Amino acid sequence: MSVVAHFDVHRVQYLDAGSHLVADAPALARDRAHLSALYRAMVRTRIFDAKAVALQRTGRLGTYAACLGQEAIGVCIADRMQTNDVLLPSYRETAAYLGRGVRMEELLLYWGGDERGMDFADDREDFPICVPIATQLTQATGVAAAFAYRSEARVAVAVCGDGATSQGDFYAALNLAGAWTLPFICVVNNNQWAISVARKAQSAAQTLAQKAIAAGIHGVQVDGNDPIALCSVLDVALDRARRGGGATLIEALSYRLCDHTTADDAARYRPLEEVEAARQSEPVVRLRRYLHAQGWWNADDEEALKNACSTEVDGAVERYLATPAPEPTAMFDHLYASLPAPLQAPRAALAARGSDA
């Protein structure tokens, strides 16, 4: 018997849960402006997220999937992607969307039951929220194949949860990305819980990153609450994909400090002690402590940031709430590029019925 193949799975962490820098941290660890910007983006996301939950609780928004505790993943993805790369998120990537230039009122419109929310004014090629699990991953391989076909140095970046790694579309996407050497990155936001099913119940695999191995692509595990590590592995993966070096699976370890959605009650299935323990390593506090320790951030900065974010969110909420409902006929108007003749009569009948019939 002989060993025909041998694989290692690496975990990357530079800023530990106690906000201490481990050795050989990259230059970003000393980049005050960049780290401050990442911190601002995380706080901005968190304040928006909390407002969205509050709007749902007071009957002014539909079901919403919060991202509390996982802000670093989306913030770093948006920070490291180039503008002309394409993002294909799940439904929990508010941080990435906001970083990519999606307007807060657009996300509120979508969760408020209005398709116009996915017609991003400033972000034209990123994919809409994907509610089915893992289907965005195979679509991302198609986006990546289009880039490769046109010889464009662009990357398709898809994000999914830990539960999604059980899906056929997940394996199929990784497999194709390997076989075709596609400029594709799959980031798994491993927040430990797929609604009520724990990570351990999802798969016997020791890591989710190792699922890359069978597909013949690069796989790495990263502390998903450590923005320095996240940016570092994203840079490696993005650069490799852009240079034709193929795909990467990034397992970002985090924890869902919130319910699955506002329609969920996580207290039914997970112990409070586990949540409290996870709170000790959450990304916003972790980076703030580090910035404090460097003397790069103080209480005044914090208050000014929170005030600015609250003002921005309040403005978005106002614009969202002031948006009139779509015309009833809008449900016909974007089914096809132009309305097929057989659908013209039903549309006219709906128009005649009016909005209050």
Partner 1 sequence: MPEITLVEAINLALARALEEDERVLVFGEDVGHNGGVFRATSGLQERFGERRVRDTPLNEAMIAGMAIGMAAQGLRPVAEIQFSGFIYPALDQLINHAARLRNRTRSRLSCPLVLRAPAGGGIRAPEHHSESNEVLLAHIPGLRVVMPSSPRQAYGLLLAAIRDPDPVVFFEPTRLYRLLRETVDDDAAALPLDTCFVLREGRDLTLVAWGASVHESLLAAEQLEAQAISAEVIDVATLSPLDMSTILASVAKTGRCCIVHEAPRSGGWGAEIAARLADEGLFSLLAPVARVTGYDTVMPLFRLEGTYLPDAARIIAAARRLLEYA
Of 9 and 146, the one with the shorter C-beta distance to partner 1 is 146
Considering the complex, what minimum distance in angstroms separates the CB of residue 219 from partner 1? 18
Instruction: Give me the catalytic one of 256, 286, 290, 320.
Output: 256
| Residue 269 designated active-site | yes
Gap between the Cα atoms of 31 and 26, Å rounded: 10
Min. distance of Cβ 126 from partner 1 in angstroms? 9
Residue recorded with tokens 């070096």: 245
Are 171 and 180 in contact by the 8 Å Cβ rule? The answer is: no
Length of the chain: 357
Choice between 216 and 294, CB closer to partner 1: 216
Q: Going by DSSP bridges, is the β-strand pair 197-198/193-194 parallel, antiparallel, or unpaired? A: antiparallel
222 pairs with which residues across the strands? Answer: 12, 252
The Cα–Cα gap between 224 and 336 comes to 40
Rounded CA separation 204/197 (Å): 13
Query: Which stretch of DSSP H or E encloses residue 249?
Result: strand 248-253
* Closer residue to partner 1 (CB): 321 or 335: 335
Give residues in contact with partner 1 (CB under 8 A): 86, 88, 115-116, 118-120, 124-125, 127-128, 130, 132, 135, 137-147, 149, 156, 168-169, 172-173, 175-176, 179, 331, 334-337, 340-343
Tokens for 278? Answer: 């996870």
Tokens linked to 127: 């994919």
Exactly one of 255, 260, 286, 290 is catalytic; name it. 260
Catalytic residue at 14?
no
Beta strands 86-88 and 11-12: pairing type?
A: unpaired
- Does residue 348 sit in helix, strand or coil? helix
**Nearest to partner 1 of 2, 83 (CB atom):** 83
Shortest CB 112 distance to partner 1, Å: 15
| Cβ atoms within 10 Å of 148's Cβ, excluding its own | 19
Nearest distance, CB of residue 175 and partner 1, angstroms: 6
Q: How far is the CB of 330 from partner 1 (least distance, A)?
A: 8
145: left (phi over 0), alpha (psi -120 to 50) or beta: alpha
Q: Which of the residues 269, 279, 334, 353 is marked catalytic?
A: 269
Of 85 and 162, the one with the shorter C-beta distance to partner 1 is 85
Residue 163 beta carbon to partner 1: minimum distance, rounded to whole angstroms: 16
Burial of 328 (0-12, 13-18, 19+ CB in 10 A): middle
Q: Check: CB of residue 100 under 8 Å from CB of residue 107.
A: no
Task: Considering the complex, state which of residue 12 and residue 130 has its C-beta at the smaller distance from partner 1.
Answer: 130
Active site residue 34: no
Task: State whether the Cα torsion 101-106-111-116 is positive or negative.
Answer: negative
Which residues does the annotation mark as catalytic? 256, 260, 269
